[in-house]
Amino acid sequence: MGTKRQGNHRVLLVAALACGAFITAIMPARGDIYRFEDGEGIIHFTDAPTDKRFKIFMRDLRKDKQLRTRLRFSRAVNPAEYEQIIKICSDKYGVSTSLIKAVIHAESGYNPNAVSQKGASGLMQLMPGTARSLKVVNSFDPKDNVEGGVKYLRFLLDTFRGDVSLALAAYNAGLNKVARFGGIPPYAETRTYVNRVLSYMQSYQGN
C-alpha cells in the first residue's frame, strides 16, 4: 500500500514539474532555468542551481541581450591591451581564454588599478594573502596579476575536477566555504557571481 502511494506521488510530482516547465515556457522568462533528472526519473527544475547535475534548460533571452550590451567598456578601458598576456597564461596553465576574460570582466572590468572594499586588487582581484601564496610581486602589474589569477584558477579547476561552477564559487567565496557546503555556498553574492561569469564566458566564446 505504501509503495503504491509513493509511486503515485512520484508520477504526480513529475506531472506537476512538467506542467510548471510548460507554464514557464509560455511566460516571459525572468531568469535562466536549469533541470536534471534523478535516478528515480524525477525531473527537477530551478533558477538557482547548487548542484553540478543541473544543466541549462531555458535561457533568459532578455538577460542575454543585456549581457552582450555590458560587454562594452568605458573609453578608459582597453581589453585588447591584455590579449597577449591572457593568451600566454591560457597556454601555460591550460585555462580557456574565455574563462580568463570572463573572470577579469566580472572582477575588475579590466581596470588594473581596481581595489575592492575587502582589499582585493588588480585585474583578477587577488587578495593579499592569495597573491603572496602565488608569488605575485605586484598585484597592480597586469602580467603578474593575470598569471597569479590564472594559476589559481588552474588549481581550483584541478581541485574540483574541471567543474567550472565550483571553481568560480571557490574563487569568489573561498575554497573552505565550497568544501563546507559541498557545493556552491548559499550566498546570493556567490551564486550571482558564478552565473555572471558563466554568462560572460559564453559571450566571449560567441565573440
pLDDT of residue 12: 34
Does domain 69-206 fall under CATH 3.40.1190.10? My reply is: no
pLDDT in tens, the chain (207 residues): 444 444 433 433 333 334 343 333 333 444 556 666 777 777 666 766 676 676 655 544 444 444 444 455 555 678 899 999 999 999 999 999 999 999 999 999 999 999 998 899 999 999 999 999 999 999 999 999 999 999 999 999 999 999 999 999 999 999 999 999 999 999 999 999 999 999 999 999 987
Catalogue the active-site residues. 107
pLDDT of residue 45: 66
Between helix 164-173 and helix 142-159 the angle, nearest 10°, is 120
Residues of the chain with CATH 1.10.530.10: 69-206
pTM beyond 0.75: no
Going across the sheet that includes 55-58, the strands are: 43-46, 33-37, 55-58
pLDDT of residue 138: 96
Phi-psi region of 69 (alpha: psi -120 to 50; beta: other; left: phi over 0): alpha
